[in-house]
Amino acid sequence: MDEIRECQPEIPGLYVSVPFCRGKCRYCAIPTRATALPPAERYRDALRREAAAARGPSSGFGSIYFGGGTPLTLSAAVLGRILEDMRGIFSFEDGVEVTLEANPGVLSRGDLERLAAAGFNRLSLGVQSLDDEELSFLGRIHTSDDALQAASWVRSAGFRQVSLDLIYGFPGHTIGRWRRTLDRVLSLGPDHLSIYAFTLEPGTYFHAAVREGRARLPGERDLLAMDEAARERLTAAGYDYYEISNAARAGAVCLHNLRIWRGGDVLGLGAAAHSLVSGWRWRNVADANAYMKSVEGAGSGAVGIHRVDGEGTLLERLLGGLRLDEGIPLSVLPNGDEQFAESIQSLVADEFLEAAGGMIRLGSRGRPVADSVILEVAAALGAQTG
């Protein structure tokens, strides 16, 4: 079996967006279409046209990630054909990591075997919780049994790696229930875990429910206890938190996402996909129909194409890199500005940041409040540049 190669941010990744889902989760603000019957072949054709009009790297892409949405709404057979289309248009590195996001509510053992045979080798399974009451409350279409069964099939179906997604801190969530989910999930022995704190997104069911007093979010102390419970259990079980919300066993980091956090290029295909290629950034129109029409007419669904200037590149590098345990090289930060240097020194003195070995990263007090620290660094940068 080929070894998955070390992530090199200078080698671009390829992202394929599939914006269809079977239902709408109550916390989700991603612009997906809830449908049982998406226009699978028409969407595949649009992806193929968009890819044919784009330029891939001559050395080959270093990772492929199919995300959504729920890609399997298109069916395992169509996803296999899309991957084949991409291999016919672009070149890829040997042993390339090929990730598929999957919803346990839309997955059979036969699907997994077909997908592995087509070349998918990493599965990111949206488990979210192993408590049926919570799953139903969150608006998920699967049960805990669906998730347990899917996780048990992944390896024998031929996938190299499995990652499980969990969410904590949603309305009514308690530390006791969270610990039970963590213990059950760890007993499955995944290679990788993505553990996201719930965010209240405008336009969602929960946003209205919390605003109208029909649901209540856990307090700050409970959220910290949930984060600590996850960190303690995962660290004790041999996982390394290489990013604020992501932990992996040795050799199992997500190379595609690592590339993005390190500021590497990604070509995004499909509705709502974002791209950063050779200093240019754009996004595709979010609505699937509008995207297909645009590609059928003009070969592209891109809008908002703009050159990322030096300040924008640095800001993106900070926002992504400070999320990583490795941090970012000190040499990336601007020097010669006293005010900026003072802001950084003050965050280091207060242990919100730490600087060592030529790198700057979140410090022990910075990790639990990472978003605020990163925003403070970004604000100091804005004052410096602007």
Binder to ligand SF4 among 38, 69, 301, 327 (CB under 6 A)? Answer: 69
**What is the closest distance, in whole angstroms, from the C-beta atom of residue 32 to ligand SF4 in the complex?**
5
Q: Which span (65-73, 111-119, 256-264, 335-343) binds ligand SF4, by CB under 6 A?
A: 65-73
- Rounded CA-CA distance 97/296 in Å is 30
Judged by CB under 6 A, the chain residues 210 through 249 that form the site for ligand SF4 are none
Q: Which is nearer to ligand SF4, 30 or 290 (CB)?
A: 30
Cis peptide leading into 69, omega within 30 of 0? Answer: yes
Q: Which is nearer to ligand SF4, 18 or 255 (CB)?
A: 18
Judged by CB under 6 A, the chain residues 2 through 61 that form the site for ligand SF4 are 21, 24-25, 28, 30, 32
Q: Which is nearer to ligand SF4, 161 or 204 (CB)?
A: 204
**What is the closest distance, in whole angstroms, from the C-beta atom of residue 303 to ligand SF4 in the complex?**
21
- Rounded CA-CA distance 134/141 in Å is 11
- Rounded CA-CA distance 328/325 in Å is 9
Amino acid, single-letter form, for residue 290 = A
**What is the closest distance, in whole angstroms, from the C-beta atom of residue 36 to ligand SF4 in the complex?**
13
Q: Which is nearer to ligand SF4, 69 or 363 (CB)?
A: 69
**What is the closest distance, in whole angstroms, from the C-beta atom of residue 42 to ligand SF4 in the complex?**
20
Total count of residues recorded for the chain: 386
Q: Which is nearer to ligand SF4, 30 or 89 (CB)?
A: 30
Q: Which is nearer to ligand SF4, 173 or 361 (CB)?
A: 173
**What is the closest distance, in whole angstroms, from the C-beta atom of residue 167 to ligand SF4 in the complex?**
9
- Rounded CA-CA distance 259/61 in Å is 11
Q: Is 68 in the site for ligand SF4 (CB under 6 A)?
A: yes
- Rounded CA-CA distance 383/209 in Å is 38
Judged by CB under 6 A, the chain residues 94 through 153 that form the site for ligand SF4 are 103
Please write down the long-range contacts of 368-377, taking CB distance under 8 Å and 24 or more positions apart: 368/224, 368/227, 370/244, 370/322, 370/323, 373/322, 373/347, 374/318, 374/319, 374/322, 374/323, 376/343, 376/347, 376/352, 377/318, 377/322, 377/343, 377/344, 377/347, 377/353
State the residue for tokens 């059950």: 184
Contact set with ligand SF4 (CB under 6 A): 21, 24-25, 28, 30, 32, 68-70, 103
